[in-house]
Amino acid sequence: MAREIKDPKKRFAFGKNWSKFLSHLNEDRIEEAEKSLLEKLNMTSLKGKSVLDIGSGSGLFSLAAYRLGAQVSSFDYDKSSVACTTSLKETYAPKDSKWLVQQGSVLDKAFLKQFSELDVVYSWGVLHHTGYMYQALENILPLVKKGGILFISIYNDQGGASRRWKWIKNKYNTTRSPLMRKVLTWYTLFRLWLITFIKDFLSSGNPLKTWNHYGLNNRGMSAYYDLIDWVGGLSFEVATPEEILNFAKMRL
């Protein structure tokens, strides 16, 4: 059985956030996601490739992989995220067996047995939210075929800064006060964006220039919903690139 997060009350509702993001999804964002995916994977096409999207979230990158010609399998632990991905599949690929969407956990080895010898295993910003990051990484390493690509994105360990962000995320998820959540969200907004707002104002007179064009330079995503994902995102683990690489090398 899947290993459950020990304290569900401290687990951020990622899927509910992404369901709101989907109301803003358009062709431009989808095309930007496709472009980003090919660039990240250093490929020119996914035609004929098998792609596993672990923690599919909104489903945007599963959709991008599908439209680029891949055989796609998507899963997420969060049922609302599964609903988001399913909604995109029903809209863009109804009844097409080249895209499979499931609910499941990266911590569930029995569930993962159905996947093997994949060309691309993709998991952007997911493993560090499981509560068992290294176990999750160990579980997915065998799924990639020889010569295939494992693409993951993990929060960098920034020492004290990471510990402070973890405190903020815990507070955001445990408080019952809507006002406190707004305060933490506004703090995060100015902490992450103030310098950019100032630079944009000085260079163009529009402090929201980068914010408004965020999707064109950030994988087709939304500045606002990425902000909410950041301030609320629990579980929360970090690692240095060297730690992740060393862990993987010892198991390959």
Q: Are residues 170 and 108 in the same domain?
A: no
Contact 219, 32 (CB under 8 A): yes
Asked if residue 3 is part of any domain, the answer here is no
Per-residue confidence (pLDDT) for residue 215, from 0 to 100:
80
Asked if residue 2 belongs to a domain, the reply is no
β-pair partners for 51: 72, 120
Name the residue range of residue 118's domain.
Answer: 8-157+237-249
Domain annotation covers residue 225: yes
pLDDT averaged per 10 residues, the chain (length 252): 46 83 90 94 96 96 97 96 96 95 96 96 95 95 95 96 95 94 96 96 96 81 90 93 94 82
Domain count, the chain: 2
CATH number of the domain within which 87 lies: 3.40.50.150
The pLDDT of residue 100: 97
* pLDDT value of position 7: 41
Same domain, 153 and 179: no
Answer yes or no: do 131 and 188 share one domain.
no
- The pLDDT score that the predictor gives to residue 10 is 62
At residue 94, the pLDDT reads: 93
Question: Is there a single domain that holds both residue 15 and residue 118?
Answer: yes
pTM of the predicted structure, to 2 decimals: 0.87
Supply the pLDDT for residue 13.
Answer: 78
Peptide bond into 235 cis (omega under 30): yes
CA–CA separation, 173 vs 12, rounded Å? 7
Q: What's the Cα-to-Cα distance from 106 to each of 77, 128, 151, 225, 248, rounded to whole Å?
A: 8, 11, 15, 24, 16
Do 185 and 89 share a structural domain? no
Task: Indicate whether 92 and 138 sit together in one domain.
Answer: yes
